[in-house]
Amino acid sequence: MRELTIGIVQFGATQEKKENLEKIKKLIGRRKYAEIVVIPEYSNYHFVGLSPEKSYELAEPLEGSFITSLQEIALSHKIYLIGAFLEKSSFSPKVYNTAFLISPEGKLIGTYRKIHLFDAYNYKESDYVIAGNEPSKVYDIGKVKIALSVCFDLRFPELYRVLALEGAEMFIMPTAWYSGPLKEETLSLLIRARAVENTSYMVVACQFNKTFTGRSSVIDPFGTVLTDLSIGEKYSEISIDLDLVEEARKIIPVLFLRKPEIYCPKICGHYQVL
């Protein structure tokens, strides 16, 4: 059995970056066996109630103190550390919403800038954020091949299919899923769908506070919910069997049974935008 232990940090970020970092340190300090630890989207601060200009002022580059501090945490615990933060861009006052992958040696070995911005439910993330323009790479971290996504990306299944076809066995998604009527149900539905339709693991670390839902989860390749952190600020670990990916792909060979020659020409642009 290829066993992997995953740790999930669920907390609510404020606009005080030092306070958020201390909370992350404290929660990761509860780690016992996790080899990968995932923290939520907007982990350095969230911009709810801020102007774009103030958000830009708070943002940091990849070489800034926030990521540097996370590199030190990853090194001290000998873990892969994954999350998403607001990265300063050269296009003031907009920032990038950037996922990161830090190695157990404390090296920043991967980034992904969120492609699909949350311009829905009367929110306008694009007022604050510049969209990325390329999918995550698939990272082979030894035991498992992973790919990164961020929050609203979840509603675009094409992205995950491409990553699965490129070899991803696990999707890791930092998120800050906004609360609202049926929003928790939607999150649960979509993360299970992305897992089962790609016969891949789905790992979600979500913020929790008055604005965001919590409900961080791990879903297996058959769509089974292995853990759900419900509400509250907390840290949790779960050990999973990576051999389930191969088993699921043998039993349900959807990646092999696709017929892209029939539907890909239409998906790739022959439909007009409504």
| 36 pLDDT above the threshold of 70 | yes
Burial call 228-248: b when 16+ CB within 10 Å, e when fewer: ebeeebbbbbeebebebbeeb
Query: pLDDT band for position 260 (50/70/90)?
Result: confident
CB 19, CB 58: distance < 8 Å: no
Question: Sorting pLDDT into bands at 50, 70 and 90, what band is 273?
Answer: very low
215 vs 48: CA distance, rounded Å = 20
pLDDT over 80 at 226, yes or no: yes
pLDDT per position as a tens digit, 116-175: 999 999 999 999 999 999 999 999 999 999 999 999 999 999 999 999 999 999 999 999
Share of the chain above pLDDT 70, in %: 97
Q: Which residues contact 194 (CB under 8 A, 6 or more apart)?
A: 154, 157, 160, 171, 200, 202
Tokens of 116: 């699909």
pLDDT of 238 higher than 90: yes
Rg for the chain, CA atoms, rounded? 18
Tens digit of each residue's pLDDT (9 = 90 or more) over 84-113: 999 999 999 999 999 999 999 999 999 999
Q: What is the dihedral of CA 237, 155, 23, 218, to 10 degrees?
A: 0
Distance CA 112, CA 149 (A): 7
pLDDT band at 1 (very low <50, low <70, confident <90, very high): confident
